[in-house]
Structure 1
Amino acid sequence: MSEHPDAALVRRGYEAFGKGDMQALGALMTADVIHHVPGSNPLSGHHKGREAVLDLYRRIGEETGGTVRIELHSVLVDGRGHAMAVHTFYGDRGDRGLEVQQGLFFTIVGGKITDIDECTQDIDEEDAFWR
């Protein structure tokens, strides 16, 4: 059974993120992509545009001293331009660590990611981690 192209696209994104390859990651997104981050912390909000989204990912790396690790569990698709990815986020920041289940809901148009909605298992814990 072959993997759906939308699932393969999402997996390539996770691989690029894991390697810190922002150029490869950016190539998977439209210029006007938006990443929506939940919560009430300095990373929360709507990051609009490829450079803003990539800056968000760079900032995550910087704020955690490069300790972030993402363990991808599954990618689900609907065959109509949507994909859901479920993963565990691991990272350290100062004297605090975070291990939390997260999900990303992707909208894909023309083989590129146009929108990313982020969900988390524990908004309060993430807010405390990023403050």
Structure 2
Amino acid sequence: MTHHEHPDAALIRRGYEAFGKGDMEALGATMTSDCTHHAPGSTRFGGHFKGRDNVLTMFGEMFEYTAGTMRVELGGVYPDGRGHVISTHKFYAEHGDRGIEMNGAMFFTIIGGKVSDVDECVEDITELDAFYSQA
């Protein structure tokens, strides 16, 4: 059987690849200028980040907070063919003497071949907040 990847799924894979390399320019190219990222939790990394520049700044701050240890293993990418994609992943990071390993998922809305909205979900919001609340 031949596998033909939907263009929306390919877009999300490119975004994950760019994030994994810390290539914010390539990641930004996958987003609309007014892209919004809705992140879980109540720390500075949780909330609603409106605009590509704000989303990319938040990601950059996450890389700084984790001293570059953050990495994401993509599980699956599931397009609906109508401008939505769900992805699953596991992410890992360290800060100080504490680490985190957690499953997560994202729900993407795609308009004109670019991500316009991202809803992020995680396995344990309380644990996520505890990790990102360290000094």
Does the pair score TM above 0.5? yes
Question: In structure 1, what is the equivalent of residue 30 of structure 2?
Answer: 28
Q: Distance in 2 between matches of 1:113 and 1:28?
A: 6
Q: Which amino acid aligns with 1:59?
A: E
1:64 pairs, out of 41, 66, 70, with: 66
Matched residues in 2 for 1:5 and 1:42: separation? 33
Aligned match for 1:102, one of 101, 104, 110: 104
Equivalent residues, number: 131
Cα RMSD after superposing both structures: 0.5
Q: Does residue 89 of structure 2 align to residue 87 of structure 1?
A: yes
Unmatched 5+ residue regions in structure 2? none
Identity of aligned residues (%): 58
> What is the rounded CA distance, in whole Å, between the counterparts of 2:39 and 2:126 in structure 1?
13
- Give the match's secondary structure for 2:69: coil
- Superposition deviation, residue 30 in structure 1: 0.3
String of CA shifts for 1:78-99, please: whole Å, max 9, x gaps. 1000001100010001111000
Q: 1:31 deviation in Å? A: 0.3
Q: TM-score, normalised by structure 1?
A: 0.98
Q: Give 2:123's match in structure 1, choosing from 107, 121, 124.
A: 121
- The secondary structure found in structure 2 opposite 1:103 is strand
Gaps of at least 5 residues in structure 1 are none
